[in-house]
Chains A and B, each alone.
Chain A
C-alpha cells in the first residue's frame, strides 16, 4: 500500500487560482488538450522548458538508474518550479498514471519523493488516470472532458500523419506547419464551444482537414521512408529523443510515427487479454471490450478520409496489428508498450517504412523483449528491415545517436536503389504471416 499520509490534495479551493504544470509529450496533441483543460476551468500549462537544467534537476532528484523519461519529466517540473516563473504556493503538478508491471507506474511516486527532497513537498500532484486512481476534491476527469480529450487525440493523430507525409514534399517551405497550427487553433476554439467532438462532426472535420492538406503543393522527392517506434515518451517527446523528428526531416526523410490511439487500444485490449489468458471477471472483460469498440470507432474516423484521399499511407488498425504480431509474440506481453511495439515495427516494414528507429530509454526493461529482442526475428520476416535501436539517457550524446541513425540512413539509401525488386518479396512475407494466423 502506498504511504499516502503526506500526500497533498488538490482541493476545490486551489482550482480557482492555481497553475497546473504538466509535462509535454506530443506537441500537436497536447496543445489541444491544454486548451481543453482551460475551457474546463483548469489553468493547465504544458511545460516546454527544454534547457540543461531539466536534466541537472532530474539527475539530482531522481535515482540515476531510473528510466530517462522519469528523470526528464520530473527534472522538467522541478526546474520549472525553481525558475521563479511560477508562484510555488499557487502551482500544482499533473502526471499521468498508467499502472502495469513496468517501473513507469511509479513516476508519480518518484515525483512526490523528488519534490519532498527538493523542499517542494507542499506542491500538490494530480494523478491523471482514466479511472481517477487518486481522488482530489479539486480535480476530476469528467465524461465530457474525456470525450473531448479523445477527440483531441484523434485529431492529433490525423494531423501528425498528414504532416509527416506532406512536409517532406512541400514546395513552399513551412506551409504544412502553418496548416497544422491553423487546425490546432481552430479545433481548440471549437472544443471550447463544445463542438467538433461528436462522431458526426469529427467525421466532417477530419474530411475537411484531409482535403486542406491535399491542397498543399508538393512534388515527388526521393525521401527515405523512416518509421519511429519506441517507449512512448522517448518515441514522441523531442526533449527525450533529442529532436529526432526534426533531425530526420533535416536528413530528407519522410517519417511515420504510429499514433497514440493505438497505445490506448493496446492498454484497453490488455484488460480483455488478461481475462482470456488467465480467467477472471467477465464483467471486467466486457467493459474493456466496450471501451475498445468505442475507441475503435475513432480509428475508423481517422483512417477513412485518409484512405479516401488515395495518396496517404493509412495507419494500421488495432485488429490488424494484433494479427500481424501473433506468430511472433503472444498478446499477453503487455508491460510498457508490450507486443504493440513489435507489431508496429512489423506494420511499418509492411507498409514501406522498413527503415526504423527504435527509441528507448537506456536499460528499458520491456524493450529488452519487445524492441531489441525482436529485431532478429523481424529481419527473417522482412529481409529489408533496417532497424536501428537507439538508447537515450542523460549520458548519451546527440552526436553518437545521430551517427548511428546516419548509418541506418546510408543503408536505407542503398536499399532504395534496389527497391523495385523487393516489392514482390515483401508481399510474400506478409502472406506467410497471414497464413500462420
Chain B
C-alpha cells in the first residue's frame, strides 16, 4: 500500500498532508494561494515529489471549496470538505460531539453524535476568516493584532452578525464615535460566534466535546475564547487543526495510486482557454482610450490657488466611512489646499494634523467659515468647533452644481456607500442610498485588488487593457468571490477580472441601488463623483452602461468636502468658531464607554471629551442623554398606537386557563380582537413582554431560516418568554386571510404572517411542553367565524357554548372596529394639527408590527425629533378607497400602503410626504416598493424607503431623512420663487 496524499484547496489557502501506511502524518504544508490555484498546487506536488524520491506514486485525493474543478480535470477523487473533516475527526478524535470549522470564506458545524448532521454556510459569508480580515482592515490592523487587541477589552458592542456588509455598517460608526479598538475587536469576534451559532446551528444546541478547526480558530485565541464563553464549554483546538480537511481527503480517497509526475503533467496541461462568460471590452481600440482621456482631462479646476490678500478662507471636511477629505477654499471659491486621507479608525487626530499643517503653510490664513459632513460630521463639528454641519447629499449637490449648473443627476460612489440623487427644479428630488448592500462600492474593488496582490491603481489601470472582461453580473460581494475564482480557473487574466469588477460595480449601483429599469433614463447632465470614479475603468463602464458621456470633476474624490466648504461660504456666520492653531496644539481627546440608563433601550454610548471640556456623545438612539428629558410635544402615531395596545393587559380570567399571546406580527393589529374575545370567554390572558434584543436572543437558536424577516424571527423570543412564564397554552392561530377592508382584490396575509405559527410548532423545543393553539381561523368570514371558532376551541377546552362564542365574537369585532376608528380619528387629528401649526407630515408606512421599537429602531421618534408629525399608514383610513394599481393588490396591509401613497401623491401640500419602512427579506415588498414609488412619482412626490433589519445603525437612516427634509425645503423655496 502506498502513501496517501490529501489536498485541501480552500478559498484562500491550500493545505496538504501526506500519510504513511499507518496514517501518520509525514508531510504537511499550509500556504496562501492568492487565487493561483493550479500553480500553487503544482508547486506543492513538486515539493512532495522531491521530498519523497522513493514514492513516485500515491493515492491522491482533493477536497476544499475550490478543489472540485481541479479534481474533475485531473480525474482525482474529490471528497466534499465537510465530509472530509468528519472522516478525519472520527479517525483522530473519536469522542467528539461537534466540530466547528471556520475557513477563509466558509463556516461549518458538524454534529457527530445524536444524529450526524452537517451544516455549512450557504449564501452568507458573515462569520468567516474573510470577514475578520475585512473588519481588521477597517481598523487598520492585521487579524493577529485584532486578536491581541481583543484580549484587553472592556465592553462588547452589538454588531450585526448576519452579513459582513451589515457588520461593517455597525463597526464604522463605532470607529467614528471613538470606541476603542480593543472593544471593537472583541465585539467583532463575538459577532462571528453569534453568526455561527445563529446561522449554522439553527436551534441545535452545540454541546459536549467540541473541536475547533480551520485557520481563524487556530490562529486567533480570543475567537476560541469567545466561542467557549458563548457556548459555555471548553472546546479543543487540536494539533494539525489546519489540516483536518486535508487529512480527511487523504483518508477518504480511493486506493488507486497515481504517479505524481502524471498528475503534475495534468496540471500543466490544464485548459486555460478562456471559456468564461465575457462581455465587450471597455475600449475597442487605442483611439477610443485617447479620446476618453482627453475628454475627461478638460473637467479640471484650479486646485492650487493662493489665498486672497485678506487671507479669508473656508474649510470643508468630509469625514467618510473609510477616508477623510478636507478642502480649503479662498474667497473666490477656488481650492487652495486639499487632502484625501485614510480614516484609520479615528478621524479626530487626522483632522487635527491636517489643520495644523494648514496653519503652518498659510500663516496668515483667516477662516471665515467651516463646515463638516459625512459619517463623522458630528464628532468633527464638536471636536474642532466647525460652524456648520451639512448632510452629505446637500454637500455633494452644492459642489456638483459648481461644475455643471444644469446637473440633473449625481452619483457618488465612495468607499462603502453609494449616493445618488436626482435634481429637479434646483432641488434634490429623489435619493438612493445603499443600505443593505455595499457590493457596488469602492472598498470592494480595493479588497479584490489586495487579494490578488495588486495596488488599487495598478489594478484599475490593468482593466483598461482587458480584451475580454469577465461577466460577473451584479451581485453580492460574497458571491463575487466565488465567481471570480471560477473565472480565474477558466483562464481569465487579472486585467479581465479587474475590468469585470469595474463593470459590476457600475451595474450594482445602477440596478441594485438606483434600480433603474432603463439605464439611459437616469438623467441628461450627470455628474459622477467619489473616489471610486477616479478609477477610469469604473468611469468608462458607467458611460458605456448608460450610453452617454458624463462629467467627472477632476476633484471627484473630494467633492463632499468641497461642497461643504462652499456651503460654509454660502451660509457664512458672523463669527467662525473653528479652533485656532494654539487651541489645536493643546488639543486632547478622550473616549469613554458608558451605558445609558435613560430608558429601556440601554444604548451603549461612547462619550468623547475634548480639551475644552466639551463632550460629544454617540451611540444614542434618542436625544435623551444629550438634551435630558425633552419637553417639546411630539405628534407620533406610532407612539399612540403603542399606547392603545398597552391598554390590553394581562387578565386573570374565570376559567382557570391562561392563554399566552405572543406580541408580534399580526397581533400588533388583531390584539384588540383576540384579547376581547378570549377575555369574554373567561380565559386568563398573558401577553409576551416588549421586544428587545435579549428577548430575540432567547429564541434565536430555534430559527430555521436565517433569511426570513426580523419581525418573524422575533416571534421565537416571544414564544420562549411565554413558555418560561408558564402559560397553559399559547394562542397563535394561522390566518391565511386578514380582515377585508375592501381596498384590494383580495385580503391575504403574507405567507410569513399567515403561517409562522407552523414554524413555531415544529421548531421550538419549549412549545412541546405547552399547548400551542395554531389552528386556522378566518376573521374575514364574520358570519361563519363563531361556529368555526366554537368547534375549534371545543377541541381543546370543555364547556364553551356556541352562544358564549357568538357573544364574545360580537364584542371582539366591535372592539376591533373601535380600535381602528380610534387610530383613524387620531390620524385625522394629527393631520389637522400639522396644518394648523405648519408642521411637516410624514406618513410612515409599514405594517402594524413595524410600531415595535425593536423592529423600527426608533425611526418614528427620530422623525418626530426632526420636527415632523408622524402618521401611520392606517391613520387616514377613513378617506381610503381602492385605487387602480399595476400589480395585484391582494394583501390587506399592502392595500393600505397603496392608499396612503395615493393620498400623499394627490396632496398639493409639499409638506406631506411618505416614508416606507421595509423589513429586510420581505419578499412582498419587492412588489410593493416599486408600486408605491410609481404612485408618488405620478405627482412628483419624493419616494423614501428605509430598509430595516436587526441592525441598529441609524446613520444611513438619518442621512436619508435629513436629505428628505432638506429636499422638501429646497422644493418649497423653488416653488416660492416661481410664484
Question: Interface of A with B (CB < 8 Å)?
Answer: 1-3, 5, 52, 55-56, 59-61, 63-67, 99-103, 105-106, 109-110, 112-114, 117-118, 274, 277-280, 328-330, 332-336, 362-370, 372-377, 379, 383, 389-391, 393-397, 399-400, 402-404, 406-407, 409-411, 414
Contacts and interface: CB of A to CB of B under 8 A. Distances in A.
10 contacts: A52-B277, A63-B930, A103-B926, A279-B778, A336-B751, A365-B752, A368-B704, A369-B759, A395-B473, A402-B68
B759 A65 contact: no
Interface string B914-936: 00000001011111011000000
B707 A362 contact: yes
A418 to B, nearest CB: 11
A56 B517 CA distance: 12
Contacts of B707: 362-363, 368, 391
Classify chain B: how many residues form its interface, as a range: 35 or more
Contact of A101 (B81, B116, B750, B775): B750
A172 B479 CA distance: 40
Given A64-B515, A109-B888, A369-B756, A280 B736 contact: no
Contacts of A376: 202-203, 704, 762-763
Given A110-B927, A335-B754, A374-B762, A101 B891 contact: yes
Contacts of A99: 746
Contact of A377 (B705, B763, B891): B763
Interface string B408-451: 00000000000000000000000000000000000000000000
A102 B754 CA distance: 11
**Centre residue among A367, A395, A397 by max chain B CB count within 10 A:** A395
Given A63-B926, A407-B80, 6 more contacts: A2-B889, A59-B473, A279-B787, A280-B781, A368-B707, A394-B473
A279 B515 contact: no
B475 interface: yes
A53 B206 CA distance: 45
Contacts of B930: 63, 113
Nearest to A334: B736
Nearest to B786: A279
B152 interface: no
Interface string B513-543: 0010111000000000000000000000000
- Which 8 interchain pairs have the tightest Cβ spacing? A279-B784, A278-B778, A332-B776, A395-B475, A3-B884, A101-B748, A65-B926, A410-B83
Contacts of B595: none
A99 B518 CA distance: 29
A113 B931 CA distance: 10
B786 to A, nearest CB: 10
A369 to B, nearest CB: 5
A247 to B, nearest CB: 12
Given A60-B517, A369-B755, A103 B123 contact: no
A5 B885 CA distance: 10
Contacts of B123: 362, 391, 393, 395-396
B49 interface: no
B749 interface: yes
B956 interface: no
Interface of B: 65, 68-69, 78-83, 115-118, 120, 122-123, 202-203, 277, 471, 473-476, 479, 482-483, 486, 507, 511-512, 515, 517-519, 704-705, 707-708, 712, 734, 736-737, 744-746, 748-752, 754-756, 758-759, 762-763, 774-778, 780-781, 783-785, 787-788, 882-891, 921, 923-927, 929-930
Nearest to B885: A3
A409 B83 CA distance: 10
Contact of A105 (B115, B475, B774, B890): B890
B777 A329 contact: no
Contacts of B756: 369
**Centre residue among B474, B744, B882 by max chain A CB count within 10 A:** B474
Contacts of B515: 63-64
A419 B65 CA distance: 29
B492 to A, nearest CB: 15
B759 A368 contact: yes
A112 B887 CA distance: 9
Contact of B115 (A63, A109, A383, A389): A383
**Centre residue among B475, B483, B758, B930 by max chain A CB count within 10 A:** B758
A335 B755 CA distance: 9
B200 to A, nearest CB: 13
A411 B119 CA distance: 12
A101 B749 contact: yes
A343 to B, nearest CB: 13
A251 to B, nearest CB: 11
A391 B122 CA distance: 8
Contacts of B277: 52
Given A330-B758, A369-B756, A399 B68 contact: yes
Nearest to B510: A60
B699 to A, nearest CB: 14
Contact of A332 (B704, B734, B783, B884): B734
Contacts of B751: 101-102, 335-336, 365-366, 368-369
B950 to A, nearest CB: 16
Given A335-B754, A373-B762, A61 B482 contact: no
A293 B745 CA distance: 29
A389 B83 CA distance: 17
Contacts of B748: 100-101, 335
B720 to A, nearest CB: 16
Contact of B473 (A56, A61, A102, A369): A56
Contacts of B883: 1
Contact of B116 (A105, A409, A411): A411
Contacts of A364: 923
B941 to A, nearest CB: 18
B704 A373 contact: yes
Contacts of B482: 397, 399-400
B889 A1 contact: yes
A234 to B, nearest CB: 14
A403 B10 CA distance: 12
B813 to A, nearest CB: 15
A2 B118 contact: no
A390 B81 CA distance: 17
A278 B776 contact: yes
Contact of B927 (A63, A100, A112): A63
B759 A117 contact: no
Nearest to B473: A394
A113 B776 contact: no
B877 to A, nearest CB: 18
A366 B750 CA distance: 9
A369 B515 CA distance: 29
A370 B756 CA distance: 10
B82 A67 contact: no
A377 B762 contact: yes
Contacts of B475: 394-395
**Centre residue among B202, B750, B776, B783 by max chain A CB count within 10 A:** B776
B758 A406 contact: no
A1 B882 contact: yes
Contacts of A110: 887, 927
A410 B79 contact: yes
Contacts of B517: 60-61, 114, 117-118
Contacts of A118: 517-518
B923 A365 contact: yes
A335 B704 contact: no
Contact of B80 (A5, A328, A403): A403
Given A63-B930, A117-B518, A106 B83 contact: no
Contacts of B781: 278-280
Contacts of B512: 64
A278 B749 contact: no
A335 B886 contact: no
Nearest to B117: A379
A368 B887 contact: no
Nearest to A4: B884
Contacts of A362: 123, 707
